[in-house]
Structure 1
Amino acid sequence: MQRECKENLDSIASLLEKMSSEHYQFPSNYLSGASIGQHIRHILEFYTCLSQAYREGGAINYDLRKRTLLLEQDPRAAIALIRQVGHWLESAPITGAVTLVAAYAVNADKTCTIPSSFQRELAYCLEHSIHHQALIKIGLFEQGISDLIDPHFGIAPSTIKFRRQRSTEST
């Protein structure tokens, strides 16, 4: 799972290396005014939250993650953090049990505690990233710069495999 997460983050870094700050910060009409940078910040903060829980021990609470606005303003800062997270992902096997703490109701302060594992949370971060990459792709199309990404950006591996299989069956 660590390799898959790193590959996904590397694809994001590859995109950011080609983007201008203006494109990165552009408030998309199709994304309710959110920018590509805001989606990137969101992705990276989940990985940061997870890595912090792994290094320091304790539960994971994505709701209480530190929001770093520089990550949504400066693609170079995001690339630097991607490299840090990538180094963490490559450093050693990330295993063990962990507790996820989350509040799923808007109008209540009640939190849930859910047994999990670091491998499961890595899978969640990867799926979460792919979901946001699909949204980022919409922002890229809106700005006319979708040529900056490969055709599989923002598409789940299972979908890519399904499409390949369907394509070979129809020929």
Structure 2
Amino acid sequence: MSVVTGNLWKLYFMPEQENQTKKLVDDNILLLNQLAQFVQEQASQIYSLPNEQLQSGSIGAHVRHIIDHYLSVLVDGGVVNYDQRERDANIEINATYAGDILNALCSELSDLSKSDSVKVVISTNVEGPSSTVDSAYDRELCFLHSHTTHHMAIIRLLAIHNNIVLPCYFGKAASTQKFEKNVQF
């Protein structure tokens, strides 16, 4: 079976849920590839430089935070625990290392083929215990995409503050990009 025939077969005969999961995986991989390309082009001093004026962590801190969330979802076991993230400080200071991890995440994501149920552990209150809720990998992929876009928008501001030019779509929500395509300015 050729690649084209194989892809057509998947498109027409793959169960709808698996098609949806694949689409969400592909959308997350596209976003992580944009981030990885940006990260790999950065000098370490800019990448790890906190911004006192904007009262934000460094670009690297935001990249680490994004990676931690993906790792929380990709760890096997049917439980996603956003509260117990690894927080590898090396990701925050070493752009090459962070880029390698982003590329590895894309590879791991590509193996996700269906949306199983999952339990999610997350704190929503500083004083109280973590909440555990039912979810599914598709829902968590939607969350990861939105969360990553949000942090890429912050990274964009930090980059602009350091005179780094980024594509206009970097850190912009897909819904906003769709809206802007359909509105004449």
What is the TM-score of this pair, normalised by structure 1? 0.90
Q: Is the counterpart of residue 104 in structure 1 residue 127 in structure 2?
A: no
The structure-2 alpha-carbon separation of the partners of 1:92 and 1:102, relative to structure 1 and needing over 3 Å to count, comes to closer
- Is the partner of 1:105 in helix, strand or coil? coil
Q: How many residues are paired up?
A: 162
The structure-2 alpha-carbon separation of the partners of 1:31 and 1:118, relative to structure 1 and needing over 3 Å to count, comes to farther
- Is the partner of 2:172 in helix, strand or coil? coil
Identity of aligned residues (%): 28
Given the alignment, which residue of 36, 39, 44 partners 2:62? 39
User: Contact 1:31 / 1:135 at 8 angstroms: preserved in 2?
Assistant: no
Unaligned runs of at least 5 residues, structure 2:
1-23
User: Contact 2:78 / 2:117 at 8 angstroms: preserved in 1?
Assistant: no
User: Contact 1:13 / 1:79 at 8 angstroms: preserved in 2?
Assistant: yes
- Is the partner of 1:162 in helix, strand or coil? helix
Q: What corresponds to 1:51 in structure 2? A: 74
State the Cα deviation string for residues 77-120 of structure 1 (Å, max 9, x = none). Answer: 11111111111111241420001111211122x22121100111
The structure-2 alpha-carbon separation of the partners of 1:65 and 1:138, relative to structure 1 and needing over 3 Å to count, comes to same
- Is the partner of 1:166 in helix, strand or coil? coil
Q: What corresponds to 2:138 in structure 1? A: 119
Q: What corresponds to 1:159 in structure 2? A: 176
User: Contact 2:149 / 2:171 at 8 angstroms: preserved in 1?
Assistant: yes
Aligned-partner Cα distance in 2 for 1:79–1:151: 21
User: Contact 1:98 / 1:118 at 8 angstroms: preserved in 2?
Assistant: yes
Aligned-partner Cα distance in 2 for 1:121–1:103: 16
Aligned-partner Cα distance in 1 for 2:88–2:48: 14
Unaligned runs of at least 5 residues, structure 1:
none
Q: Is the counterpart of residue 13 in structure 1 residue 20 in structure 2?
A: no
Aligned-partner Cα distance in 2 for 1:27–1:67: 17
The structure-2 alpha-carbon separation of the partners of 1:31 and 1:116, relative to structure 1 and needing over 3 Å to count, comes to farther
Q: What corresponds to 2:109 in structure 1? A: 89
Could you tell me how far 1:130 is from its partner in structure 2? 0.2
Q: Which is higher, the Rg of structure 1 or of structure 2?
A: 2
- List structure 1 segments (4+ residues) > 6 angstroms apart after TM superposition: none
Aligned-partner Cα distance in 2 for 1:83–1:154: 18
Q: Is the counterpart of residue 71 in structure 1 residue 88 in structure 2?
A: no
- Is the partner of 1:60 in helix, strand or coil? strand
User: Contact 1:30 / 1:139 at 8 angstroms: preserved in 2?
Assistant: no
Aligned-partner Cα distance in 2 for 1:57–1:113: 15
- Is the partner of 1:134 in helix, strand or coil? helix
Larger RCO (CA under 8 A, 6+ residues apart): 1
Q: What corresponds to 2:49 in structure 1? A: 26
